[in-house]
Structure 1
Amino acid sequence: MHALSWCLSNVISENSKDSVLLLYVKPPPAVYTTLDGTGYLFSSDIMAAMDRYGYDVAQSVLEKAKRMCKDLHDVKVESIVEHGDPRDVICQMTQRLGVDVLVMGSRGYGLIKRAFLGSVSNHCVQNVKCPVLIVKKPKSTVANN
């Protein structure tokens, strides 16, 4: 949301013919295993509940993002929900739609977390053909008591 807010304040011109595409990527379901390597199987009811929850989260995030864009009069705002690895889906959608600029947030992972979890923004910078603008959250200030 911070990246969208920053983009709306600094990149998008209110009375332009710009378009904003809000993309939410639902990652594939996690595979749960025990320490001995055996997996867990979930009933169809649990899987359906997990799918509903994922859908509800996506809709909630997109509705909040759309509310942030409500004051843009001549700007076309669209939203898409896709499924898959966010790194791959963002790159594919950027290519397919001929995006001019990809604006994305950064979680601000440190070196260790980035090494283990990977960086979606770094992957996109390396693989999309358009400019990529990464918006970092400002470091929060901690009050010394």
Structure 2
Amino acid sequence: MEDEGEHMKNRENKIVVAVDESEESMHALSWCLGNLSSSKNTSNTLVLLYVKPPPVHSTFDAAGYMFSSDVVATMEKYGTDMVNSVMQRAEAVYRNFHTNAHVHIERLVGRGDPKDVICNTVEKLRADTLVMGSHGYGFLKRTLVGSVSDYCAKHVECPVVIVKHPASA
């Protein structure tokens, strides 16, 4: 029983926050920071997860286009620049947010289909919570395009918080 008490004393919450270029994801991060537990016995690890699209190879893609190595290199550099930009924005949100909670930030970049990468990362990390922004797509667009947040909410084991941006609420 004492071991269980010690475990409860030093509880760590692992929260995955999916971030991208959108204002919605930054709003979800702000919401998350504002709602963290501030217990002295709880530390929070926020995993800022950005998902890059699958790599483009210098061969034919699905549409039959051939990309030269220069185009592929340029696209890769753009992807790296985008990751850095999003992570810098997310870290600025964190720095500008005054919270009493014990928070540790980790940056993680995945590659592939966002819904699969997010679900796999949450499972692999054994996250306690997944926080995502909602792009506020209407029924028709969500039906045609699909919703990453809807998919993740149905396929991960932990609680999922989908935060609507005030403009889309």
Say whether residues 1:17 and 2:37 are aligned partners.
Answer: no
**1:112, CA displacement in angstroms?**
1.5
Secondary structure of the corresponding residue to residue 167 of structure 2: coil
**TM-score in terms of structure 2 length:** 0.73
Cα distance between partner residues in 2 of 1:107 and 1:122? 11
**1:13, CA displacement in angstroms?**
3.2
Q: Where does residue 90 of structure 2 map in the other structure?
A: 65
Contact 2:131 2:160 in 1 (8 A): yes
Which residue type is aligned with residue 120 of structure 1? V
Cα distance between partner residues in 2 of 1:55 and 1:2? 23
Q: Where does residue 52 of structure 2 map in the other structure?
A: 26
Cα distance between partner residues in 1 of 2:37 and 2:30? 10
Q: 2:128 aligns with which of 100, 115, 123?
A: 100
Q: Where does residue 27 of structure 2 map in the other structure?
A: 2
Contact 1:14 1:72 in 2 (8 A): no
Contact 2:130 2:158 in 1 (8 A): yes
Secondary structure of the corresponding residue to residue 105 of structure 1: strand
Contact 1:24 1:80 in 2 (8 A): yes
Contact 2:54 2:112 in 1 (8 A): yes
Q: Where does residue 117 of structure 1 map in the other structure?
A: 145
Structure 1 portions without partners, runs of 5+: 34-38, 141-145
Q: Which has the higher helix share?
A: 2
Which residue type is aligned with residue 50 of structure 2? Y
Moved more, 23-32 or 46-55: 23-32
Secondary structure of the corresponding residue to residue 99 of structure 1: coil
CA change 1:55–1:12 in 2 (3 A) is farther
Say whether residues 1:81 and 2:106 are aligned partners.
Answer: no
CA change 1:51–1:72 in 2 (3 A) is farther
Secondary structure of the corresponding residue to residue 115 of structure 2: helix
Q: 2:66 aligns with which of 30, 41, 44?
A: 41
CA change 1:48–1:111 in 2 (3 A) is same
Say whether residues 1:55 and 2:83 are aligned partners.
Answer: no
Q: What count of residue pairs does the alignment treat as equivalent?
A: 136
Structure 2 portions without partners, runs of 5+: 1-25
Contact 2:28 2:163 in 1 (8 A): yes
Aligned-residue identity in percent:
50
- Please identify runs of 4+ aligned residues in structure 1 that moved more than 6 A: none
Cα distance between partner residues in 1 of 2:164 and 2:39? 23
**1:14, CA displacement in angstroms?**
8.6
What is the RMSD computed on CA atoms of the aligned residues?
Answer: 2.2
